[in-house]
Amino acid sequence: MIVDVLAIAAHPDDIEMTCAGTVLSLIEKGRTVAGVDLTQGELGTRGTPQIRLQEAAEGARLMKLSARENMGFRDGFFRNDEEHQMALIPIIRHYRPKIVLTNTPDDRHPDHGRAAQLVVEACFYAGLRQIKTVDKDGQPQEAHRPDFIYHFIQDRSLRPDFVVDISTYWDQKIAAIKAYKSQFFNPDSNEPQSYISGEPFMKFLEARTREHGHMIGAEFGEGFVTKRMLGVQDLFALV
């Protein structure tokens, strides 16, 4: 399956929190998007890996992803090393995206920064023809390197390099986030409180998205950072 955009995140629900609106806007414009979660989030305070996989499937449905899969890396203990890179390279070569969206290199959760580095290096090595991999049917894969990697902003207050207007998709983004009933604010839950389970965190997510939207004169926006300088061919294409 070849897609235009591949979102790769450390944990189930990372994609929903950070770039669901962008994903929905891309799909409405005719682009194809798939998602990859590196871990099952098994170290989370609430829920179970099985519940989170079910919630991720519902999130994928609400975001209209073409596909979503889970790498099964150890939550909290995966590494940016040869073993993990060689597991991720076949996935990148399978989907052959032009754009990869992934975690930011600097964030509150150590997994996010480590995931960012893993994805960046795996994307580079996926373009080296001397690294040999096979697909799920055992057939040799062709090398492929995405054109762009954009890092979505999550917990830390980082200044984005660009912002996507998601005002039209705010309600759908919230619905995708709320697919994770075990993780986010749920007054009917008897599970222990966590960093993201209280109502104030949901208000923070809204405030962050409004802040990014405000930067570009929109109601809601999702911000991204990139290490590569972006170019434009038409100044009037900028908003």
- Give SS3 for 222: strand
| pLDDT at residue 237, as a whole number | 85
Q: Which token pair is 85?
A: 């890179």
What is the pTM (predicted TM-score) of this model?
0.96
| pLDDT at residue 190, as a whole number | 87
pLDDT tens-digit map of 46-64: 999 999 999 999 999 999 9
| pLDDT at residue 127, as a whole number | 98
Place of tokens 């098994």: 42
CA separation (Å) from 155 to 12, 152, 208? 15, 10, 9
Count of CB atoms situated within 10 Å of the CB of 140 = 9
> Helices then strands (H, E): number in the chain?
6, 7
Mean pLDDT by 10 residues, the chain (239 residues): 97 97 98 98 94 97 98 98 98 98 96 98 98 96 98 97 98 97 90 93 97 98 96 90
| pLDDT at residue 157, as a whole number | 94
